[in-house]
Structure 1
């Protein structure tokens, strides 16, 4: 999974158009937050949604039950799987 480099300080600089900044400042004022708090909260909400989407796979109940069944009772290895296992390096 990709990870962004994190700088040692707690600062983050953003460049936005004047109209965008004005919109963000207006919205922040409406919820009684300063600009940093408003932008941070919104960005963190979006970041958490992106991470959740990337790290989770949602399946139907039917598919979930099938996955559990296959984990409990895996099918026997077929020829392709046996060939892949045979091709693995032995010096581990």
Structure 2
């Protein structure tokens, strides 16, 4: 098992009290409660980001297509001229 390293934070007393109350309700100590909560928030933040993987030989063409302006066509024209449902009255 990897060695653990310290992580220090400063917090207002009322926040510490709130954390301690929540940890106690769940039968955990403050450290375990905070580590689990921060790990969960970290995973949610990372999972909320889209990840695209492409082969090296198509990376540049892929980026070029993303950066290129859309080509005019009927569907795009219709989308851009249709009122949003919340704007239609």
Gaps of 5+ in 2: 1-13, 85-89
Scaled by the length of structure 1, what TM-score is found?
0.51
Instruction: Give the match for residue 49 of structure 1.
Output: 43
Aligned residues between the structures: 64
Query: Secondary structure, in 3 states, of the residue corresponding to 1:61?
Result: coil
TM-score under structure 2 length normalisation: 0.53
Query: 1:42 Cα deviation (Å)?
Result: 2.2
Q: CA–CA distance in 2 between the matches of 1:81 and 1:67?
A: 21
CA-to-partner distance for each residue in 1:36-56, whole Å, 9 max, x for gaps?
Answer: 0222022201211111111x1
| Alignment partner, residue 5 of structure 1 | none
Following superposition, the deviation at residue 61 of structure 1 comes to 2.5
Match of 2:33 in 1: 39
Quote how far apart the aligned CAs of 1:88 are. Answer: 4.0
User: 1:11-62 CA distances to partner (integer Å, 9 max, x unpaired)?
Assistant: 142533xxxx3xx5xxxxxxxxxx10222022201211111111x1111124
Where has structure 1 moved over 6 Å in runs of 4 or more? none
Change in Cα spacing, 1:82 to 1:61, as seen in structure 2 (3 Å) is same
Choose from 45, 53, 56 the match for 1:60: 53
Q: For structure 1, list consecutive stretches of 5 or more residues without a partner in the other structure.
A: 1-8, 25-34
